[in-house]
């Protein structure tokens, strides 16, 4: 019996899409250091499609795994789909999270939403 | 595998396991029964009690009550002092902000029952100042309860001085010595201790066994009512195999205490020196007045649970005061009590070693922690902001 599913451990040990996108056009950061979790999402959006995504996370194993899984779930996807991503879908894709770690998947959803908002804001400023 | 979490629990010693299984197989009688095998169990029980008396410098076997562990002993000591204090119109208790939860949560309950509790500052070095104990004592103080050594940061308190102050002021003094017994010299007489709690699994004994020392003449109440076991102070058929193993483990620990402490301390100091090389890190708790096996650090920009999981992957078992490892939102109350802010308290690591660790293992731990901290920092948004100068380093 271990704390996390194998999927969580896989994404924690080998996180996908780690890092920074220098020319990202949507950046979102959620959480705070006081609570022990911060997630930062970098999106590169072209023609309403997420062509690239990267993340940086300060947090526990499930926070890192949730960020990693969420990036995989939105990479290459149209914005209409990305907007629909829920924390539940992220947690399910990870074969579940312990109850008290569900907030990590919420942070992943919020980080993406925040990055999308930033993208919309930049777009409206340009227009 | 390198087991570096001896403050959480220890591996039972071979001699303790042998004594325990032999007792289960052969001395299975009930110590309250008058026939042969019952009386044999009684003898075994009392033999273990004598070992405890010797180990802590008690005066009399009647001063030892075997319990289910440190938590029960803490509860019973504090509840007793509170009950008799209340009868005498004394409803003030002094303790510290970084006690074990067995103490803090009992005190919280007593507060709800009308007691007033003063929690002393533990200062940045994690050491209580005896003069602050003295000035906190009031005419209505019925108990001072201060741990012998802290379970997270390993700081050893000036128990003897605090005990002397309590004696002079005629106030009961209890100490949770769970982390101290079997690791450093503890003598209830010389240390002026009235009540002391200990737990066997912290000194290579079995889980589920501990004891409470109560100085002769001090009144105690029951947490568990029932039969007349433990001189009527703790009902329930005695855990004879566990108690016998406790006696064996304690004797072993005390016989080898000086030797083991010296070896362990050397390895501890090497670990501390090695981990200090990590930039923006800090040791938690005083470096000198410290348990021989305790190492506790904060690393800025990372979170403790991920650190533990990656160390586990490298075969190193350790612990952290991060919120994520406790299931709550707040990091360790001990680290907060010594003034670490949340941001860095989440990035803590406790290694609690014993004399069995080799020099190679010590070097491997240092190397591994360095690698993992560096790796986690490489994608930490906090670390990026710190390095970029957008945020100020705390450590």
CATH number of the domain enclosing B188: 3.40.640.10
Identify the residue whose tokens are 């979790």: A37
| Partner-chain residue, chosen from B301, B322, B384, that has the shortest CB–CB distance to A36 | B322
Radius of gyration of chain A (CA): 14
Q: What pLDDT score does A33 carry? A: 83
Six token digits for residue B342: 């949340």
Residue B5 inside a domain? The answer is no
Calculate the CA dihedral of residues B184, B185, B187, B191 and round it to 10 degrees: -80
Smallest Cα distance from B180 to chain A, Å: 31
Could you tell me which residues of chain B have a Cβ less than 8 Å from any Cβ in chain A? Answer: 301-306, 309-310, 313, 322-325, 327, 329, 331, 342-343, 346, 379-384
Angle made by CA atoms B78, B328, A6, in degrees to the nearest 5 = 130
B342 → closest Cβ in A34, A57, A59 = A34
| Total domains present in chain B | 2
Looking at the structure, do residues B161 and B40 belong to the same domain, yes or no?
Answer: yes
User: Catalytic: A60?
Assistant: no
The strand order across the sheet containing B172-176 reads B64-67, B210-214, B195-199, B172-176, B141-145, B92-96, B116-120
Determine, yes or no, domain membership for B7. Answer: no
Which pLDDT belongs to residue B243? Answer: 98
| Residue B394 domain-assigned (yes or no) | no
Are residue B243 and residue B306 in the same domain, yes or no? no
When scoring B335, B341, B380 by the number of chain A Cβ atoms within 10 A, the one with the most, hence best to mutate, is: B380
Instruction: Kindly state whether residue B70 falls inside one of the protein's structural domains.
Output: yes
Residue B2 lies in a domain: no
Q: Are residues B265 and B288 in the same domain?
A: yes
Strands B195-199 vs B172-176: parallel, antiparallel or unpaired: parallel
Quick one: pLDDT at residue A32? 87
Question: B-contacting residues of A 59-118, CB under 8 Å?
Answer: 59-64, 100-101
Same domain, B321 and B227: no
Mean pLDDT by 10 residues, chain B (395 residues): 97 98 97 97 98 98 98 98 98 98 98 98 98 98 98 98 98 98 98 98 98 98 97 98 98 98 98 98 98 98 96 97 72 95 94 98 98 98 96 95
User: Is the domain of B247 the same as that of B315?
Assistant: no
pLDDT of res. A1: 60
Please give the average per-residue pLDDT across A25-44, as a whole number. Answer: 94
Confidence of residue A3 (pLDDT cuts 50, 70, 90): confident
* DSSP helix, strand, coil percent of chain A (3-state; round to 5): 50, 25, 30
Enumerate the residues of chain A whose CB falls inside 8 A of the CB of residue B310: 13
Give contacts of A 6-65 with B, CB under 8 A: 9, 12-13, 15, 18-20, 29, 33-40, 55-64
Give the C-alpha separation, B367 to B362, whole Å: 9
Token readout for B212 is 């409470």
Of B240, B255, B270, the one marking the end of a domain is B255
Note whether B7 and B294 are within 8 A (CB): yes
CATH code of the domain covering residue B308: 3.90.1150.10
ipTM of the complex: 0.96
Among residues A50, A69, A79, A104, which one is catalytic? A104
List the domain range (segments joined by +) for residue B338. Answer: 257-387
- Predicted pLDDT at B303: 95
- Chain B residue with CA closest to A61: the answer is B306
- Shortest CA distance from A40: residue in chain B: B381
The per-residue DSSP string of B141-193 comes to: EEEEE--SB-TTT-BBP-HHHHHHHHHHHT-EEEEE-TTTTTTS---TTTTT-
B201 and B109 within one domain: yes
Residues B140 and B281 reside in one and the same domain? no
Structural domain includes residue B213: yes
| A25 band by pLDDT with thresholds 50, 70 and 90 | very high
In a domain, residue B314? The reply is yes
Q: Which of B225, B255, B285 is the last residue of a domain?
A: B255
Interchain CB distance below 8 Å, B343 and A34: yes
CA dist B69 and B6 (Å) reads 16
How many A-B residue pairs are in contact by the CB < 8 A criterion? Answer: 69
Listing DSSP states for B45-72 in one string gives: HHHHHHHHHHHHT-S-GGGEEEESSHHH
| Known catalytic membership, residue A35 | yes
Which stretches of chain A are DSSP H helices?
6-13, 61-74, 79-82, 87-93, 102-126
**Of the candidates B236, B255, B274, which is a domain's last residue?**
B255
Q: Which CATH number fits domain A6-116: 3.40.190.10, 3.90.1010.10, 3.40.220.10, 1.10.3720.10?
A: 3.90.1010.10
Q: Is residue B134 part of a domain?
A: yes
From the list B325, B329, B343, the residue facing A33 with the nearest CB is B343
Residue located via tokens 């325990």: B20
Do B104 and B212 lie in a common domain? Answer: yes
């Amino acid at each position: 019996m271990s704390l996390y599913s194998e999927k969580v451990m896989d994404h924690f040990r080998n996180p996908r899409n780690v890092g920074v996108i220098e020319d990202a056009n949507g950046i979102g950061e959620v959480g705070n250091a006081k609570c022990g979790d911060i997630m930062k999402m970098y999106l590169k959006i072209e023609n309403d499609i997420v062509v690239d995504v990267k993340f940086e996370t300060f947090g526990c194993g499930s926070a890192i795994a949730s960020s990693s899984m969420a990036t995989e779930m939105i990479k290459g996807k149209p914005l209409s789909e990305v907007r629909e991503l829920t924390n539940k879908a992220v947690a399910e894709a990870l074969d579940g999270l312990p109850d008290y770690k569900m907030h990590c998947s919420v942070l992943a959803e919020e980080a993406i939403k925040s990055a999308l908002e930033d993208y919309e804001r930049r777009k409206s400023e340009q227009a | 595998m390198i087991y570096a979490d001896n403050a959480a629990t220890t591996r039972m010693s071979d001699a303790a396991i042998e004594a325990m299984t032999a007792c289960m197989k052969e001395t299975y009688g009930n110590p309250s029964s008058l026939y042969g095998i019952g009386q044999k169990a009684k003898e075994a029980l009392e033999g273990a009690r004598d070992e405890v008396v010797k180990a802590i410098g008690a005066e009399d076997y009647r001063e030892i009550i075997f319990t289910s562990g440190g938590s029960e002993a803490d509860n019973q000591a504090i509840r007793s002092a509170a009950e008799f204090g209340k009868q005498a119109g004394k409803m003030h208790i002094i303790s510290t902000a970084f006690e074990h939860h067995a103490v803090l949560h009992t005190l919280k309950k007593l507060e709800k029952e009308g007691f007033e509790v003063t929690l002393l500052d533990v200062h940045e070095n994690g050491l209580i100042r005896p003069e602050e104990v003295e000035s906190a004592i009031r005419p209505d103080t019925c108990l001072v309860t201060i741990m012998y050594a802290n379970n997270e940061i390993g700081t050893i308190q000036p128990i003897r001085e605090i005990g002397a102050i309590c004696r002079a002021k005629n106030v009961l003094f209890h100490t949770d010595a769970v982390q101290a017994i079997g690791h450093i010299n503890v003598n209830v007489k010389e240390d002026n201790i009235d009540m002391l709690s200990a737990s066997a699994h912290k000194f290579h004994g079995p889980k589920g066994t501990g004891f409470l020392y109560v100085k002769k003449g001090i009144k105690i109440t029951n947490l568990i009512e029932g039969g007349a076991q433990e001189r009527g102070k703790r009902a329930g058929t005695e855990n004879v195999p566990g108690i016998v193993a406790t006696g064996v483990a304690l004797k072993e620990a005390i016989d080898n205490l000086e030797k083991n402490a010296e070896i362990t301390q050397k390895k501890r100091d090497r670990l501390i020196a090695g981990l200090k090389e990590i930039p923006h890190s800090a040791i938690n708790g005083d470096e000198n007045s410290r348990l021989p096996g305790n190492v506790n650090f904060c690393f800025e920009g990372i979170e403790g649970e991920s650190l533990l999981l990656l160390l586990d992957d490298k075969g190193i078992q350790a612990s952290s005061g991060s919120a994520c490892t406790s299931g709550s939102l707040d990091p360790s109350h001990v680290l907060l009590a010594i003034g670490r802010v949340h941001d860095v308290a989440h990035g803590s690591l406790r290694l609690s070693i014993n004399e069995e660790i080799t020099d190679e293992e010590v070097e491997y731990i240092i190397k591994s922690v360095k690698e993992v901290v560096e790796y986690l920092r490489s994608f930490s948004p906090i670390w990026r902001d710190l390095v970029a100068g957008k945020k100020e380093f705390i450590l």
